[in-house]
Amino acid sequence: MSVMNGFRLNLTERLLGVNSHLNVYSFDEII
């Protein structure tokens, strides 16, 4: 149970990191 919880946390963290990187990219392109 705890293992799955940690895995999910890690996954969401990774996705959020990728999302922030993409947002920065788009911001750079707009400016």
Successive 10-residue mean pLDDT values, the chain, 31 residues: 82 79 68 57
Which string of DSSP letters, residue by residue, matches 1-31?
A: -HHHHHHHHHHHHHHHHHHHHHHHHHHHHH-
Instruction: Tell me the residue type at 23.
Output: N
Q: What is the pTM of this model?
A: 0.43
pLDDT on residue 25 = 67
| Domain regions of the chain by residue span | 1-31
